[in-house]
Every structure is written in structure tokens, then in C-alpha cells.
Amino acid sequence: MILPVYAQVDLTNGRWRKCTISAKLFEQYLGGKALGARLLTDLTPAGLDPLSPEAMLIVNTGPMNDTGAPSSSRFNMTFKNVLTGGIASSNCGGPFGMLLKKAGFDGLILCGKAPELSMVVVEDGKIRIEPCPQLQGLDTERTQEELPERYGKLVIGPAGENGVRFACAASGERVAGRCGAGAVMGSKNLKAVIAFGTREVVKADPEGFEAHTRKWVKLLKKHPMTGDSLPRYGSAGLVSKANASGVLPTRNFTRGRYEHYEDVSGETLADTKLTRNSGCVSCPIRCERRVKVKGKDVKGPEYETLGLFGPNVENNNLDLINELNYQCDLLGMDTISLAGTIAFAMELQEKGMGDFGLKPDQPDDLLRVVEDVAYRRGPAGELAVGSKVLSEKYGGADFAIHSKGLELASYEPRRSVGMGLGYATANRGGCHLNGGYLALLESVGVISMDAQTPKGKPELTVFFQNGMEAASAAGFCLFTMQAMIPGILFHFGPASFACRAAGTGLLAARPVLGQIWKFMPWAMPINCMLVPHSKSIALATGLPMTIGKFFTVGERSYNVERLYNLREGLTAADDALPGRLTKTPQDLDRPDTVVPLDQMLPVYYKVRGWDANGVPTAKRLKHLGIPLPKEG
């Protein structure tokens, strides 16, 4: 078995050293966010300022990167979350991860602070640090253009240099968007990391792997979700159904439906703006939208950006959303956190609680606001701290739409209560993917499930959180998990008996789903094409991977992240949502259109094997092979 090789780089003095991950850690955590969380916990003390030189930034791949497995180009950034103070992982589909691996490293552990603006150059097993003052102030596109062409690049824009707390990092046109990865790089005077090499990934069973990959690609291309709707509409296709289901956040999450939703829908985007679809390296799904902004062919907005820069700020100008999306990518900012913070600031301003120079009646002014935030200038520059910090200064905690400090994604959870539980319990804060993405089952997908009942939601949330955590750890795109939903259901249609029975059946399976983790990984000692990920990992790495072990990697990772959060001072009280979502019904005639967190959280903790305070029990940690945290 070939073990992952990492490099520890001290940016302060330019020293670096190679280290090999042990076989035990590799088998337990694979790589990506799971191994990142383990390493961050082990290698840093509690209580660090996330933007201090002592803070650590781990940029790593998973074992599947560069193997040619479908949708496996995702790399990860792990660090102390700038917005929440807990764990942060931010995932990106750009080409950097693949080139890092070709350069001879599975991951980089970066600490310290360079004396001047610098870049880390990784080339054929060697690392050097070079000053790059000439790149200061350049946007992410110009920065990458100035760097040598054949290298994989990971860069920040002006927002990262200026310490915007939700600044992102970019690789190609893809970004590691959430939690402030760009701010961490900026705090270390790190403008870029570039990598080049020619190393080939050695697979344990090359022939078996190729055969399995062919079969899996065929399955993805044949599946109605990954082979038709995602390539056709991208995630943007969710706008219409989200609106119909009442989960399209509108006017800072006051409503879940927007009267002009069709102006910003995926269908309108496809009909009027789409130039072509595209995708990440090695991905057969090709969900990326390409659009024109001022005559230039650029990456189009995802559903999140459409929802949050559209209905949530009451803007129905699709051209403007495309331009805002591109502008955020250039300046290096997370569209979810930025748009969420703008919506919150608009409401503060409307209520006379603050003045940020916003002009809600002039949507075009958003372009100026976005720039002011990136450069932290003028009254709007104050938004660079994010919703939580803003609410601590100006009030409005009940309508500051975040969890733990991270702004919520574009799903209004009062009409998808399992999604609400996911937001509240996600280790990195208000994230739909880290949260288990139950909206796909409850409100926007093919399965017809009762979106308001709290019953069964904790069990399903844990199941999907663990599954997606494992996929991410291996380097797979989470969209590959959507093919787990049997394709036959799409042929019957969401109104069919089969899809309605599937929704009811999943909720009815809660006694089994609630207990299954006690018996993992032995409960699923097999590999099959329902979850092709595990066999792919086994064939590529030689690890004795099964579906049970795969899900256990996810569960282990979720617990390590939780322990990190607890160590950094977060508690069960932080598994919360703003009052608007838990106390005020979305539909005043239906009292059940709130997120009943108080009913779901105790069950969620129990299913996870945590105590009533949300602390993992020694028994569950022992079961997962996680060392007990040190006292104090």
C-alpha cells in the first residue's frame, strides 16, 4: 500500500520537511477533510486566533484524486474557521489538487507567516517559497494569468489580502468558497500555492479499477439526475422547485417564495444565457454553466448564488447575478456568505438599526457594494466581518441568518425542517452539504417526503452527513452521491405511488437508521454499485474498503470535527438557528412551518451516540477508534 506523503511548510522561515501518513491514519481517515480535521486537531493547540501566524492551513487531496475515477478532482482546505471559531473545511474542484499530487505530495501543512507577499512553489517532490510582490492587489484571474501556465494554481484575490472574513481561494474558475480560506492565506502573506509534476498515481488493481470506473461512468451517464438534469440545468435547475416548495429564501429569509422566480430560474438561464455546459477534470456529469458577462465566456452561477443574490435580496436581474457571481470570483469572496450578509444588512438598514450605504431599490448598486466589501472601504466595507459579528454590534440576532457564524445556503428550512437540523448541526456552520442536504429528499428532489415532520429527520440527517463526509474525504464530488437515489423513481415521477412510498418508507426506516451506527462497519460488509465509491477506493488503494467502512470514515470524521469544535469552546447551544426560523412560522396559517429544533436535536444526539449536551461519549469514540480528548 502506498501511503500519503505530506509536506510541513513553515512560511516564516521557508523550511519544509516531508512526512508520511501512517497506515492506520490512512485507513481511518483516507484524506481530504477527514484527515485534515484529524491533523489540525493533533498539530495545533486550542484557542488560536484563526488569522494568527501560529494557525495552520492544510491543503490536501484524497486518495482518489488523479486516479481517473469519476468526479474525483476535489481537493480540500482545512483550517480554523474564521467565521465560527470551530472547524473549517472548504472544498474545490479546480485543477490544483491533481497537480499537487503529480508534484509528489498528497497534502501540504502550512503554518507561520511569510515576511512579505509570497507563493509556495511545489515541483517534482521539492518545495520553495518565493516572494511575489508583483501580484499584490491582483484579482484571482489576473494572478493566475501571471503565474506559469502548466502549474496547478491556488490563489487569493484582493478580499483575501484585505482579510475579508469570508474570502475564498480560487483554482482555475473554481473556488474553495466557504469559511474564509482566502482570509487565512492572506493572513499568512500567502498569495498563491502552485504545483507541477509528472508523478502518476499507482493503483493497487489497475485492471479491476478501470473496469469498475467504466461501469460507474456508465451508471452516472444513464442516471436521470447525473446524466440528464444536472448536465442540462446544473444546480440552477433547482430554483423553480425550491420556489414551489417554499424553500427559496426571499427577502432575508422572510419568505420562501418569490413572485419573479422565473426571471432567475435555471430554465431561463438555460434558455437565454447559457453558452455551453462544462465540468471539472475527470467528471462525466458536467454540471457547470457557462455564460457571457460583458461579452466574456465565464463560469455561471450555481443555485446558491442565484437564490441569495436573487430572491433573497429581491433582485430578478439575471444578467446582474451573473456579473455579481463573476465579480465575487475575481475579488475572491464566497457568494453565499457575502449575499447573506448583504441581505441581513439591508434589513438592519430598513429597520433603522444601522446605515451601510445600501440602496435596496437599486439592484445595480450591488456591484459597488461587493467591491466596497472586498476593499473594506466606506460604510459597506463593514460587511466584511459577516452576519454574526455584524449582529453583535448592531443587534438583529433573530434575523441574522447564520448558524455558528456561517451564513445559511439557499434553502429556507422552515419548509424543509430536516435541512434546518442539518444547518444547525453541521460542524462548519450553516452549510447544506456538511449538513446532510435533506432538502433533496424533503423538497426539491424526486422523492415525495413530508417536509414538515421532525420524525425520521435526525436519523436521515446523520446517515447523509456521514455518507457525504466520506465521499469528500476520498476526493469525490458529492454529486456522485445523488446517483444513490434509484433511477427508476425518476421514470415514475414524484407524484407516483413509488416516489411517495419511498418518502414514507425512508421515514419509517428510522428505527433501523437510528441503530445502524452501533453495528458499523460490520452491518454493511459489502461493496455494490449502489455506493460505488467504496469499491473504487479499495481497487485504487488496496485498502480493505467496504460500504460499512466507507460510512464509518464519515462518522469518524464527523466526530473528530465535533471534538475540535468542543475544544475551541463551541457547545450544544451553538447547534442553533436564528429565531426567525425557529419561532416565526413561514406561513402564519400553519404553525408547523418553523424548524422544530428542540424536538429533533435530542434524537440527533442520541443517534450519534453523543450525550444530552452533544458531547461524543467515550463508548462511541472507542467504537470509532478515536483517541479520547485530553482533559482541560
List contacts with another protein (CB under 8 A): 224-226, 229-230, 232-238, 240-241, 244-245, 257, 265-267, 270, 287, 302-303, 432-433, 437, 440, 444-446, 448, 450-451, 478-479, 482, 490-497, 499-500, 503
Nearer to another protein, 44 or 240 (CB): 240
Nearer to another protein, 140 or 226 (CB): 226
Please classify residue 353 by burial: count the beta carbons closer than 10 Å to its beta carbon, then call 0-12 exposed, 13-18 middle and 19+ buried.
middle
Q: The C-alpha cell of 181 is what?
A: 480560506
CA distances from 249 to 308, 352, 411, 544, 594 (A): 7, 22, 6, 44, 14
**Smallest distance, another protein to C-beta of residue 604, A:** 20
Nearer to another protein, 366 or 478 (CB): 478
Nearer to another protein, 132 or 238 (CB): 238
**Smallest distance, another protein to C-beta of residue 142, A:** 30
Helix (H) or strand (E) holding 465: helix 457-474
- Look up cell 442536504; give the residue: 437
The one-letter amino acid at 83: L
Nearer to another protein, 370 or 499 (CB): 499
**What region does 386 belong to: left with phi over 0, alpha with psi -120 to 50, or beta?**
left
Helix (H) or strand (E) holding 292: strand 288-293
* 3-state SS record for 318-379: HHHHHHHHHHHHHHCECHHHHHHHHHHHHHHHHCCCCCCCCCCCCHHHHHHHHHHHHHCCCH
**Smallest distance, another protein to C-beta of residue 241, A:** 5
What are the b/e assignments for 593-616, b being 16+ CB within 10 Å? bbbbbeebbebbbebbbbeeebeb
**Smallest distance, another protein to C-beta of residue 606, A:** 27
DSSP at 152: E
**Smallest distance, another protein to C-beta of residue 248, A:** 12
Can you tell me the distance from the alpha carbon of 56 to that of 21, in angstroms, rounded to the nearest whole number? 17
**Smallest distance, another protein to C-beta of residue 168, A:** 17
**Count of CB atoms within 10 A of residue 306's CB?**
33
Nearer to another protein, 317 or 453 (CB): 453
Nearer to another protein, 263 or 365 (CB): 263
Nearer to another protein, 122 or 440 (CB): 440
**Smallest distance, another protein to C-beta of residue 220, A:** 12
DSSP at 163: T
Helix ranges restricted to H, 223-317: 230-233, 238-245, 266-272, 303-308
Q: How far is CA 592 from the centre of its chain?
A: 29
DSSP string, 380-409: GGGGGG-HHHHHHHH--GGG--EETTEEP-
**Smallest distance, another protein to C-beta of residue 497, A:** 6
Nearer to another protein, 270 or 572 (CB): 270
**Smallest distance, another protein to C-beta of residue 231, A:** 11
**Smallest distance, another protein to C-beta of residue 89, A:** 15
Q: The C-alpha cell of 609 is what?
A: 451516540
Nearer to another protein, 265 or 391 (CB): 265
